[in-house]
Structure 1
Amino acid sequence: MLHSQFVQAQKGKAGGKPLVVFLHGFLGAGDDWKAVKDYLTGYDKLFIDLPGHGESHSIQSTSFDAVCGLIHSSVLKCIETQKQSATRPICLVGYSLGARLAMYFVTEYFKIQSHLTPVLVAGLVIEGGNFGLDSQAARHARLANDLAWSERFKNDDIAEVLSDWYQQPVFSSLNHEQRQHLIAKRSVNLGDKLSQMLMSTSLAHQPDLLPQIRQLQFSNGSRPLYITGERDKKFTALAKHSHLDCQIIMGAGHNVHKEQPEVFASVLLGYLEQMGESPRKKLE
Structure 2
Amino acid sequence: MNKKIVINNYEYDVMIAGAGQPVWLFMHGFMGSMAEYQNVQPKGTRIYLNLLGFGPNAQVVKPAQRFRWREQVNDLNALLNQLDIQKVNLVGYSMGARLALAYATVFPKRITKLILEGGTAGLATQRLRQQRIIADAKKAAKVVTVGMHQFITEWEQLPLFNSQRLLPIAKQKFMHDQRVNQYAENVSNSLYFFGTGAMPSFWGQLSLLQVPVTLITGMNDRKFTRINQRMSQQLPQVTWHQIPHAGHNVHFEQTVTVTNILNNLVVD
Please say whether Structure 1 and Structure 2 have the same fold, judged by a TM-score greater than 0.5: yes
The runs of at least 4 consecutive aligned structure 1 residues that moved more than 6 Å come to none
Is the contact made by 1:230 and 1:236 (CA closer than 8 Å) also made in structure 2?
A: yes
User: Take 1:183 and 1:159, find their aligned partners in 2: how far apart are those partners?
Assistant: 10
Is the contact made by 2:219 and 2:245 (CA closer than 8 Å) also made in structure 1?
A: yes
The question of 1:211 aligning with 2:204 is answered yes
> Which residue does the alignment assign to 1:141?
131
Picking from 92, 95, 101, the partner of 2:93 is 95
Superposed, which structure 2 residues align to 1:68-107 within 5 Å? 68-79=73-84, 88-107=86-105
SS at match of 1:238: helix
User: Take 1:217 and 1:57, find their aligned partners in 2: how far apart are those partners?
Assistant: 36
> Which residue does the alignment assign to 1:184?
177
Q: CA deviation at 1:157?
A: 2.0
Task: Evaluate the alpha carbon distance shift between residue 143 and residue 179 of structure 1 in structure 2; reply closer, same or farther with a 3 A threshold.
Answer: farther
Is the contact made by 2:33 and 2:178 (CA closer than 8 Å) also made in structure 1?
A: no
Q: TM-score, normalised by structure 1?
A: 0.80
Picking from 258, 262, 267, the partner of 1:268 is 262
> Which residue does the alignment assign to 2:143?
153
> Which residue does the alignment assign to 2:67?
62
| Residue type of the alignment partner of 1:261 | T
> Which residue does the alignment assign to 1:30?
34
Q: TM-score, normalised by structure 2?
A: 0.85
Larger strand percent: 2
Q: RMSD of aligned C-alpha atoms?
A: 2.0
Is the contact made by 1:23 and 1:93 (CA closer than 8 Å) also made in structure 2?
A: yes
> Which residue does the alignment assign to 1:259?
253
The question of 1:43 aligning with 2:44 is answered yes
> Which residue does the alignment assign to 1:20?
24
Q: Percent identity?
A: 26
SS at match of 2:116: strand
Q: CA deviation at 1:183?
A: 2.7
Deviates more, 1:176-185 or 1:160-169: 176-185
- Larger radius of gyration, structure 1 or 2? 1
User: Take 1:31 and 1:214, find their aligned partners in 2: how far apart are those partners?
Assistant: 33
> Which residue does the alignment assign to 1:173?
163
> Which residue does the alignment assign to 1:8?
18
